[in-house]
Amino acid sequence: MKILVINCGRSFLKFQLIDSETEAVIAKGLCERIGIEGSKLIYTPTGGEKQEIEEPMEDHKKAVSLVIDALTDKETGVLTSLSEINAVGHRLVHGGEKFASSTLINEEVIAAITECNDLAPLHNPANLIGIRACKELMPDVPQAGVFDTAFHQTMPEEAYLYGIPYEYYEKYRIRRYGFHGTSHSYVSARAAEVLGKKYEDLKIIVCHLGNGASVSAVKNGKCVDTSMGLTPLEGLIMGTRSGDIDPAIIEFLAHKEGRSIDEIMAVLNKKSGVLGLSENVSSDFRDLEDGYNNGDANAIRALKTYCYRVAKYVGSYVAAMNGVDVICFTAGIGENAPLVRNFVCEHLGYLGVELDQEANHKRGEDIAITTPESRTTVMVIPTNEELAIARETVRLAV
Ligand code: AMP
């Protein structure tokens, strides 16, 4: 089967066409600046040349139709006709408490996702626009929705409730939801597979360290806690997001700087994290690693503070699960920054973690980076959210 995986944001649409039998990517690409001047489609057929097609895209429907044109183009396309697409899988950000697993999309499901818009006002409406555009252009093709929040719905109440009046949970559903669920689920299951152990027998901590970053505790194949909360602002220090802070800082800063709550929230989302901590050296860990190697105090401060927070979360999840068998690193930083893994693991001596430095410097493999003697296994597992979405889509659509 050929599955089109779509990740739709407010002004972009990323896609991959995946062959579900071989799990190979047939083509992939990105539409950027949708609804803004200067929009373009970047399209790469596997084994072929990357193309950049500048074309006005007034909305997502136009973007989807350009993707279909590129995929079916006589010269550079990979499909002879649109009917070769067997199903579409959508990455959806927030399923609230309504969706504990992926689902086939129908009008009822669209209405239920719309009800979650309040919880993700930037993402969910954009996801829905993508669904509508695909439904209009491919009315007979089954479509599945795979939620970022779904994997975390198994968390117990003690992990998802905040220490605020319970009536706010009842009235507004304010609670921890967690994000990156598709990645946490894929990586934890893959770690068990690579180790040749039963997923249901393991206690696994997944550190998804990308531009956004979160940690999760997966016990016997089910998520029992995760670091992102009602929104993706909570938890780890990220590229530009603060992660956990004392909530009183918001009011304190608003008074001191004479700014509104919205302005302070923009600081916490866009100007904080390692970018803010490093006095604007960068939010990109490649730059921070360069800075570290050149002895730049700003980069060192940002890196050390970032890694300490990751280690603290790992410790709290060891407590949550009363132990840990495997710790996984994944996503842009988790997969590519041996220095970060080193700094985090320096705090994990109490777990008997012994890194194998040669393995720690390899790239692009599912690999254990601890020695055979290490009491806890630490692994690098490259995440593959698109493949996970394609697999879910096949499971639902067949
Ligand atoms: P993601 O959100 O998973 O795509 O991760 C993106 C982030 O990964 C970038 O902002 C970088 O900070 C980081 N990253 C990507 N490649 C490298 C690398 N080779 N070394 C260190 N960090 C990297």
CB atoms inside a 10 Å sphere around CB 96 = 20
The Cα–Cα gap between 199 and 334 comes to 21
State in Å, rounded, how far the first CA of the chain is from the last one.
Answer: 9
- Three-state SS at 262: helix
Query: How far does the centroid of ligand 1 lie from the alpha carbon of residue 244, in Å?
Result: 21
Ligand 1, atom 23, residue with closest C-alpha? 333
Give the whole-angstrom CA distance, residue 381 versus residue 364.
8
Residues with a known catalytic role? 148
Q: How confident is the model at residue 95 (pLDDT cuts 50, 70, 90)?
A: very high
C-alpha to C-alpha distance for 72 and 68, rounded to whole angstroms: 6
pLDDT at 118 over 90: no
Pocket test for ligand 1, best of 7, 207, 284 (most atoms within 8 A of CB): 284
- pLDDT band of 122, cuts 50, 70, 90: confident
| Distance (Å) from CA 289 to ligand 1 centroid | 11
Q: How far is CA 358 from CA 38, 112, 319, 338, 371, in A?
A: 45, 49, 30, 10, 10
- pLDDT computed for residue 367 by the predictor: 98
- 208-255: per-residue pLDDT in tens? 999 999 999 999 999 999 999 999 999 999 999 999 999 999 999 999
Laid out side by side, the sheet with 24-32 consists of: 51-54, 40-45, 24-32, 13-19, 2-8, 87-92, 143-147, 103-104
Distances 26 to 4, 305, 365 between C-alpha atoms, Å: 10, 40, 21
**Which pLDDT tens digit goes with each residue over 170-209?**
999 999 999 999 999 999 999 999 999 999 999 999 999 9
- Cβ atoms 191, 326 nearer than 8 A: yes
C-beta of residue 175 within 8 angstroms of C-beta of residue 162: yes
The residue to which tokens 């089109």 are assigned: 4
CA distance 296 to 291: 5
Characterize the bridge pairing of strands 203-209 and 326-330: parallel
Residue with tokens 């117990």: 156
**Ligand 1, from 30, 336, 363, 380: best to mutate by most atoms within 8 Å of Cβ?**
336
Query: Which amino acid is residue 337, in one-letter code?
Result: A
Taking residues 45-57, what's their average pLDDT? 95
Locate 210 and state its tokens. Answer: 């990308």
Say whether pLDDT at 272 is over 90: yes
| Bridge partner residues of 102 (DSSP) | none
Token pair, residue 180, equals 């990156």
Residue in the block written with tokens 């980076």:
369
Q: For residues 12-24, give the mean pLDDT.
A: 96
If you measure from the C-alpha of residue 359 to the centroid of ligand 1, how many angstroms do you get, rounded to a whole number?
A: 19
**Measured on CA atoms in the order 288, 294, 298, 302, is the torsion positive or negative?**
positive
Predicted pLDDT of residue 10? 83
336 Cβ closer than 6 Å to some ligand 1 atom: yes
Number of separate helices (H) and strands (E) present in the chain = 15, 14
pLDDT tens digit string along 324-352?
Answer: 999 999 999 999 999 999 999 999 999 99
- Rounded to the nearest angstrom, the gap between the alpha carbon of residue 384 and the centroid of all alpha carbons in its chain is 10
Residue 121 pLDDT class (50, 70, 90 cuts): confident
Write down how long the chain is.
398
Reported confidence tier of residue 9, pLDDT bands at 50, 70, 90: confident
